[in-house]
Amino acid sequence: MKAVSMSDNGAPGDLSELPQVLIAAFDALRSGAQDRRSAFHTPVFSSLGLDGRPLSRIVVLRAFDPDQRRLRFHTDLRSDKIEQIRHDPRVAITFYDASMKLQIRCDGLAVLHDDDELSTMAWDTSQRMSKICYGTEPAPGNVIEQADAFVLPSDPDSIATGQNNFCAVVTQVTTLEWLWLGHQGHRRARFTWDGNGHAKAVWLVP
């Protein structure tokens, strides 16, 4: 696949065709997962609260699989978002890169992986610093008497126990909306996939 540059200051050029836009969007998501300095590395993940309210927070994008259209981040099984996803798996993930003037909004269904091959691989390849957080006591989100009234594990055995709280959240994207703020005019496109993986692509008024 040919990479498409987002740095063009004029008309979008290559980005005047919808298939090229999708390639560029997938490239941006791929580098968001791989490059810690990419603005796409820390998107906003939104779920539905148990009372139907939208709830959003920043997460670290760990992986993007363009063939399956799957985005992955990691979280603590004890965090509030887990119960929300179990209750209603419809979620949204929003990215913005100010240097590219590019917003990507994804929505789809989230699947929790907490005791399978994927979660084991994700845990095994996590940094020690990341693993430590999963051993925090009491659990994330608990009310505490003082700001530092919690403990993190320090010895290897208790750090390893944190795996019991580790969860990989994988969202399969069903709609992707791309918005590029070009100097010569904004461009907006939407891609929607049906259950068979067939995509419908349209331009939208920005």
Ligand X SMILES: Cc1cc2nc3c(=O)[nH]c(=O)nc-3n(C[C@H](O)[C@H](O)[C@H](O)COP(=O)(O)O)c2cc1C
Which spans of this chain sit near ligand X (rule: CB under 6 A)?
42, 55, 57-60, 73-75, 79-81, 140-141
Burial 66-83 (b: 16+ CB within 10 A, else e): eeebebbbbbbbbebbbe
Cβ nearer to ligand X, comparing 73 with 95? 73
Task: Quote the strand ranges of 66-142, DSSP E.
Answer: 70-76, 90-97, 102-113
Least separation, in Å, of the C-beta of 156 and ligand X?
23
Cα separation, 136 vs 130, whole angstroms: 11
Least separation, in Å, of the C-beta of 102 and ligand X?
19
Least separation, in Å, of the C-beta of 8 and ligand X?
29
Look at the chain and count its residues: 206
Half-sphere exposure of 31 (CA within 13 A, CB side): 12
DSSP state of 96: E
Least separation, in Å, of the C-beta of 23 and ligand X?
26
Cβ nearer to ligand X, comparing 8 with 80? 80
Cβ nearer to ligand X, comparing 80 with 107? 80
Cβ nearer to ligand X, comparing 60 with 160? 60
How big is the chain by its Cα radius of gyration, in Å? 19
